[in-house]
Amino acid sequence: MKFEKMQGTGNDYIYFNLFEEKIDNPSALSIKLSDRHFGVGGDGIVLIGPSDEGDFSMRMFNADGSEAEMCGNASRCVAKYLYERGLTKKREIALDTKAGIKYLQLFIDPQTDTVQRVRVNMGKADFSSRSIPVISELSEVIDQPLTIDEKTYRITCVSMGNPHAVIFMSGIDALKLDEIGPKIENHPMFPQRTNVEFIEVIDRHTLKMRVWERGSGETLACGTGACASLAAGVLNDRCDTSVTVKLKGGDLHIEWDKVHNQVYLTGDAHFVFKGEIPD
């Protein structure tokens, strides 16, 4: 079974081409291969395949085997894979995900014919408690208190096709994220668990972010989380509608077209290595 390791802003996954490979149990495979000591190592696996609705499909599984709806960083890597491995020469790709069709715009270096950046239409930011979902008497959870271990955090809940709890605070570098992250991820108010973003505002155009990803733990980046954080920041008047989000793995540029409620993510994508798993 052949695979390719790729990363976008440090968010690393193991990619499989379903046009060539057959995978019967992707959940178990993700648990096995994501282990950074006994496997390949990664935040999960991504399956690239055909689609009746879009040009191609993407399914992704977290390191704990759970299937996620969408990943902005992974979708950029999928675009690079499709173009540079010769599955398409389109520069605009409709990618079928569990969060719906996502439209990818590829920026190509004319000299090397390689993908340098990808801009993803991540769709709408949804604040509806029912849609996220989050259990609350409020129709939208915006800057509401959540107390964990006698400390109160102000959370804003957003869906980018998957659930996010965004917290604005200072001193995020000192956070013991491995302690607080799981407690918020698995809080009873989130029936499908949640991703958690801790955001420090640098200025109106710059956010600094640490993220605890549902099913994977702390990662170097989260594309949907960066998008959710911008939307939450605008709603709480902490930033403008176009920002650079600074993550441990690098920078992402996020824009929110509030008129049409469409969020756009632009960033890099890189091959790391390829390999083959013995039968």
> Which positions are annotated as active-site residues?
71, 222
Residue whose token pair is 């968010």? 11
Look at residue 241 and give its three-state secondary structure.
Answer: coil
Burial pattern 16-41, b for ≥16 Cβ within 10 A else e, equals bbeeeeebeebeebbbebbeeeebbe
**Residue 51 per-residue DSSP state:** -
User: Please, are residues 209 and 247 in contact by the beta-carbon 8 Å criterion?
Assistant: yes
For 43, other C-beta atoms within 10 Å of its C-beta total 30
Residues in the chain: 279
Q: How far apart are CA 229 and CA 163, in angstroms?
A: 12
